Every structure is written in structure tokens, then in C-alpha cells.
Amino acid sequence: MKVTKAELAHVAVKAEQYPKNQLPELALAGRSNVGKSSFINKMLNRKGLARTSGQPGKTQTLNFYEINERLYFVDVPGYGYAKVSKTERAAWGKMIETYLSEREELKAVLQLVDIRHRPSEDDQLMYNWMKHYGIPVILVATKADKIPKGKWQKQLTAIAKTLDKEASDPLLFFSSATGLGKDEAWRTILNHLKV
Ligand code: GDP
């Protein structure tokens, strides 16, 4: 998709702060450092629009990026970040749970995993949790440029197996460094959001 307009339109912790214009939403989730901000920036052709989890003192908010006045990317704070206190983690859990379980505009979650590693326990918990709520998940294996092309398929198979992936959930590869997989990612997203 050609992105002509993309802006951080809403920042929310509570439901009252979510957008009210009823555009379809795609939430993006993944472990800190998986490449989520790089993914968002690459997909939107905007360097530095999305925050990175390496940023000290960043706030735990849901960030709504409005795209072409047609849909939202909802950046969910990364999980598994070591430097987060118990209280912060509990607040994170509550905020995410409320959003993912109650939000009608949410059409799918795009969950990022690192193509080089087997999904962690946190990744598995997140995936299972979304399946429990019946949310369609688009899995994206990031940093594909870090391993040779000949190894992609083997890694994707291992990822699907570890997560016990449902057949209807797509699993794509992606590289923010090269832009590889970008067109396919957009096609899959638009298809899921029916926009
Ligand atoms: P986030 O914490 O999930 O938002 O992750 P970031 O987008 O900040 O990325 C974490 C690190 O991985 C940064 O140093 C990025 O430059 C790097 N990175 C992210 N995506 C890719 C990718 O596709 N290829 C390569 N080689 N590095 C990447």
C-alpha cells in the first residue's frame, strides 16, 4: 500500500482514550528488541516515527498510528523487557488485556518473532492468549537478512511448530534492513482488515 499519511494520532492507557472514528485496527506485539519499531517505520516509510524499546524512560502506552485515514497500527509496548518493575508489568498486563479482549475495532494482531530463534515462553504465552480470545494473528519473523535465505524455511517451520500455530494464521518473513517481505506484509494486513 502506498502510505500517503501516517501520524501518531492517539496515545492511550485507558479505553476512554482510544480513537472514536471506528477505523479498523491492527495491533502490533512482540518481545522488546524484536524489531517492532523498525517494522512500523519501514511499513510507513517514516524513519523514527515509532519509538524503540531501548529508549530509557519510555512510557507504557498504546500508540495509535492513523494511516491514510483508513486504518490504525496500534503499537503495544514490548514484553519481556528486563528493566521493568513488577508494578509496571502488572499495569502493562491490565492495559493490554483490556484492549485486546474488548476492542471491537481490533481486527487482527501482528505478532513479531525473531527468525533466528525459537519463540520464547513469553511469545508462546502471548500467542496462546490471543488464540484463547479468538483473535486472528499474523506472525512476522523479523531480521530475515541476518540468516541465509536457504535457512528461512527451516526456521519458519520451527517457529510454527513451537507456537502450535493455527493453519489460518499467516507466518511471513520480513527484514526492515532490506525491505524484504514488505509488500506481502501489506497485502496480508489489508486482507485481514478488509480495507
Ligand atoms: P523493538 O524494541 O522491537 O522496537 O526493536 P527495534 O526496532 O528497536 O530493533 C531492535 C534492534 O534490532 C535495533 O538495533 C534494530 O536496528 C535491529 N533490527 C530491527 N529490525 C531489523 C532487521 O530487519 N534487520 C536487522 N539486521 N536488524 C534489525
Residue minimizing CA distance to atom 9 of ligand 1: 35
pLDDT confidence of residue 53: 65
pLDDT confidence of residue 56: 55
| Cβ 115 vs Cβ 155: under 8 Å | yes
pLDDT confidence of residue 30: 95
- Centre of ligand 1 to C-alpha 16, Å, is 32
Q: Which three cell numbers stand for residue 80?
A: 519481556
- Centre of ligand 1 to C-alpha 39, Å, is 8
Q: In the predicted model, what is the mean pLDDT of residues 20-29?
A: 98
pLDDT confidence of residue 45: 96
Among the ranges given (47-51, 166-170, 184-188), the one the predictor scored with the smallest mean pLDDT: 47-51
- Centre of ligand 1 to C-alpha 21, Å, is 32
- Which ipTM was obtained for this model? 0.99
What pTM does this model have?
Answer: 0.95
Q: What is the pLDDT of residues 120-165, one digit of tens each?
A: 999 999 999 999 999 999 999 999 999 999 999 999 999 999 999 9
Is the pLDDT assigned to residue 54 strictly greater than 70? no
Residue 192 to residues 18, 44, 46, 56, 138, Cα–Cα distance (Å): 21, 18, 23, 34, 9
Is the pLDDT assigned to residue 166 strictly greater than 80? yes
Strands 171-173 and 71-75: unpaired
**CA-CA distance, 81 to 28, in Å (whole number)?**
16
82, burial (CB in 10 Å: exposed 0-12, middle 13-18, buried 19+) = exposed
- Centre of ligand 1 to C-alpha 78, Å, is 13
Long-range contacts: 131-135, Cβ < 8 Å, 24+? 131/166, 133/100, 133/101, 135/100, 135/106, 135/108, 135/109
Which of 55, 176, 180 for a ligand 1 pocket mutation test, highest count of atoms within 8 Å of Cβ?
176
Residue type, 107: K
Residue 10: what are its φ and ψ, rounded to 5°? -145, 145
Q: What is the pLDDT of residues 55-106, one digit of tens each?
A: 655 668 999 999 999 999 999 988 876 677 888 888 888 999 999 999 999 9
- Centre of ligand 1 to C-alpha 158, Å, is 21
Find, among 108, 70, 128, 121, the residue nearest to 185 by Cα.
Answer: 108
**CA-CA distance, 175 to 119, in Å (whole number)?**
17
The closest-lying atom of ligand 1 relative to the alpha carbon of residue 54 is 2
What residues does ligand 1 touch, defined as CB less than 6 Å away? 30, 32-38, 52-54, 78, 142-143, 145-146, 175-177
The closest-lying atom of ligand 1 relative to the alpha carbon of residue 40 is 7
- Centre of ligand 1 to C-alpha 142, Å, is 8
pLDDT confidence of residue 55: 63
Residue minimizing CA distance to atom 20 of ligand 1: 35
pLDDT confidence of residue 60: 84
pLDDT confidence of residue 106: 98
Mind listing the domains of the chain with CATH numbers? Answer: 6-193 (3.40.50.300)
Residue type, 134: G
